[in-house]
Amino acid sequence: MTPPRAPGPLFSDTQATLLWAGLVGMLGALATVAFREGLAGLQWLLVGRSGSMVEMAKSLSWPMRVALPCLGGVVAGSLLLLAGRHAGDSKADYMESIALGDGVISVRQTLLRSLSSLCSIGSGGSIGREAAMIQLAATSASVLGSARRMEPARLRLLVACGAAAGITAAYNAPIASAFFISEIVLGSIAMQSLGPIMIAAVTASITMRALPGYKPTYEMPAFAQVANQEVALFIGLGIVAGLAAPQFLRLLELAKQLFQRTRLPLPLRLGLGGLLVGVISVQVPQVWGNGYSVVNSLLHTPWLWTSVVAMLCCKVLATALTTGSGAVGGIFTPTLFVGAALGHLFGQGMHALWPAFVSGPEAYTIVGMGAFLAAASSAPMMAIVMIFEMTASYQVMLPLMLACVIAYFVANANSGKFMYDIMNKRRRSEEERWRVEQTRVSDLIRPAETVLPLSASLRDMTDMFARHPVKYIYIVDEAQRYQGVVALQDLSAQMMDEVAIRQKHASDFVRPGFLDALTPALPLAEALQHFLVHQGERLPVVQDQDNPVLLGAVHKTSLLDAYVRLQQLGH
């Protein structure tokens, strides 16, 4: 009688991953809501109201506009200092945890850094709140996966799902969120990872819509049909965005370097950055916060071009001061702000030149957001999908796709800058891998110290073996062409024979073809095959097989080091 078969698991690994992704999506949405409510509570505590940071700034006297960002920066810096003292082995950043780590995120680090971000943003820092939201959502996924003792690969995927949920909750763009994590963090779009990430993003979107008080981040106007001849203008906008985005990123990097040169403690550095932002906000209160309300105003109300220029310059400077001082927060939303203002100015200029043929500035504002984001993030697919999800308009697709793709290629042709450090690390890794892949035997050649001519005496050879702990001596002719090797074991019986010592030469003992001779152009993998046949430590290298001039030798340790590095970079 056949024994009954044990019941299998209720769900396969793939099905279970999709279920966990759905749960992570809901938890990620709730984590972002918690941060948003914490920010509103801090606003009530500071000024007795919550809502737009710009309106909050306008309601304060000028001394308070200067003092509040400064004090907030000091507190935020103190929290970061505390976080640094309690740094553990696990990654603090969700991107590094997914791309470079094992999926484990430090909960203490996340909470302290999120509190620091809360203080920076709530006191008027010119920085996005999405970074802390995404970090909290990813950390909730990490805690859940760690509690279930998931293996690293599966845990990393779950953390990626949490990050996508956080982006969705911040921008209501589930498809773009999935592309963001795939393009920027994972570096590839594969269905094995994209499927669970999309499940998490959709679940987060549904959760956010079900909560009271939900509304889209950006309130998009109706997008009119674009005339065929106007498409060329959007191509021009893409070129402008592609040229401007790298300069924006360079400015942020320059501000960071300048603040580091001050040698100030972290709390004072953030306090100084907040103080300078506060001074700017005395005349331009629109620099406070992430710029949501200002972008919505650009989309729906007319602005003087001079006002837009002044606001854009001040916002870029305030963002550079905030991020450069070391404040924790996102530059994703400020990037959208800069793109919107740039597009608005471009649209106003084109409309002034050809008012009868050019759409209103709001069309260029929308496309400018996407083009600048595509250029800055090097993720054009994500930028296209995100703006499309926000507008829900097919009319936007053609000009948006053109502007984003052109901005991406223009930016990449003029700069190697990326918005996120993980992309810089990935590019450095890819460049290192390329360098190792291009390594040939010629890069590993060392001088062959044990070389003698065919006329060398037995005594010359024994002396050579006495000076060098090797098994073989390389023998060359008068033209330095490799002839073979003399083995130590072949000389052992002759060393006590006085006649042999006087009469024998290297030509009497040489073994042609005993060792494989390598050539300079040989790749690592092929050279390694030769070493698998030969059990020694080194092999001779000749110019080529037809003209075997001895160039030196390659040691097995050097070859294995390069080959192992290549294998590690491949993973």
Q: What's residue 428's pLDDT? A: 57
Q: What's residue 407's pLDDT? A: 94
* Closest CA relative to residue 186, chosen from 160, 210, 162: 160
Q: What's residue 438's pLDDT? A: 64
13-210, what's its fold? Clc chloride channel (1.10.3080)
Helix then strand then coil, % of the chain, to nearest 5: 65, 5, 25
State whether CATH 3.30.70.1230 applies to domain 228-421.
no
Q: What's residue 49's pLDDT? A: 76
Domain residues of the chain, as ranges? 13-210, 228-421, 441-570
Q: What's residue 571's pLDDT? A: 45
Residue numbers of the chain with a pLDDT score lower than 70: 1-14, 86-92, 187-191, 217, 223-225, 227, 415-439, 493-501, 535, 563-571
Summarize pLDDT for 221-245 with one digit per residue, the tens.
776 667 677 888 999 999 999 999 9
Residue 410 tokens, joined = 């223009």
Q: What's residue 524's pLDDT? A: 75
Asked if domains 13-210 and 228-421 share a fold, the reply is yes
- Euclidean distance between CA atoms 14 and 264, whole angstroms: 50
For the range 529-537, what are the long-range contacts, defined as Cβ-Cβ under 8 Å and sequence gap of 24 or more? Answer: 531/556, 531/559, 536/471, 536/472, 537/470
451-453, strands of its sheet edge to edge: 451-453, 472-476, 482-487
> 477 Cβ partners below 8 Å, 6+ apart?
453, 454, 483
CATH of domain 441-570: 3.10.580.10
- Euclidean distance between CA atoms 150 and 108, whole angstroms: 21
Place of tokens 């290549």: 566
561-to-262, 444, 473, 570 alpha-carbon distances in Å: 41, 11, 25, 14
Residue 106 tokens, joined = 């430090």
Q: What's residue 164's pLDDT? A: 92
Tally Cβ neighbours within 10 Å of residue 255: 19
